[in-house]
Amino acid sequence: MKALTFSTFGNSDVLEYIEIPTPTLKQDEILIEMRAIGLNFADVYRRKGNYHLKGNPPFVAGYEGSGVVVDTNNNPDFKIGDRVAFADVPFANAEFVAIPVSNAIPLPETISFETAATILLQGLTAHYLATDSHKTKIGEMVLIHASAGGVGQFLTQISKLLGAKVIGLTSSKEKAEIALQNGADKVFLYSEDWKSQVLSFCPNGVDVVYDSIGSTLSDSFEVTKNCGQVVFFGMAGGDPDFVNPRMLMDTSKTLTGGDLWSYLTSKEERIERAHQLFNWINSNQITIAEPTVFKLSEGKKAHDYLESRKSTGKIILIP
Q: For the segment 2-56, what is each residue's pLDDT rounded down to a tens digit?
A: 999 999 999 999 999 999 999 999 999 999 999 999 999 889 989 999 887 888 8
The vertex-284 CA angle with 283 and 285, nearest 5°, equals 90
Q: How far apart are CA 105 and CA 121, in angstroms?
A: 12
**H/E/C letters for each residue in 226-251?**
EEEEEEECCCCCCCCCCCCHHHHHHH
- Please determine, for residue 309, whether its predicted confidence score (pLDDT) is greater than 80: no
Q: Which CATH superfamily is domain 2-120+262-318 in?
A: Medium-chain alcohol dehydrogenases, catalytic domain (3.90.180.10)
Q: Do domains 2-120+262-318 and 138-257 have the same CATH topology?
A: no
Residue boundaries of the structural domains of the chain:
2-120+262-318, 138-257
Per-residue pLDDT at 64 exceeds 80: yes
**The predicted structure's pLDDT at residue 174:** 92
Model-level pTM? 0.91
Q: What's 138-257's CATH class?
A: alpha beta
Between 289 and 318, whose confidence is greater?
A: 318
Rounded CA separation 68/157 (Å): 30
Averaged pLDDT, 283-310: 92
Mean pLDDT (whole number) for 82-107:
97
Bridging pattern class, strands 141-144 and 165-170:
parallel
Nearest C-alpha neighbor of 263 from the set 274, 279, 248:
274
Structural contact between residues 194 and 169, judged by C-beta atoms closer than 8 angstroms: yes
Q: How buried is residue 228: exposed, middle or buried, by Cβ count under 10 Å (0-12/13-18/19+)? A: buried
Give the pLDDT of residue 96. Answer: 98
Q: Is the pLDDT of residue 235 over 80?
A: yes
Helices marked H in the chain: 41-48, 113-128, 150-161, 173-181, 194-201, 217-222, 245-251, 267-282, 299-307
Residue 118 pLDDT more than 80? yes
Q: Give how far Cα 312 sits from Cα of 50, 92, 115, 172, Å.
A: 23, 22, 16, 11
Structural contact between residues 178 and 154, judged by C-beta atoms closer than 8 angstroms: no
Write down the pLDDT at residue 119.
95
Instruction: Determine the pLDDT at residue 284.
Output: 94
Averaged over 166-171, what is the pLDDT? 96
- Picking from 183-187, 228-232, 241-245, which range would have the lowest pLDDT averaged per residue? 241-245
* Residue 108 scores a pLDDT above 80: yes
| Percent of residues, the chain, with pLDDT higher than 70 | 100
Q: Which of 191, 196, 244, 252 is nearest to 218 (CA)?
A: 244
**Residue 50: predicted pLDDT:** 80
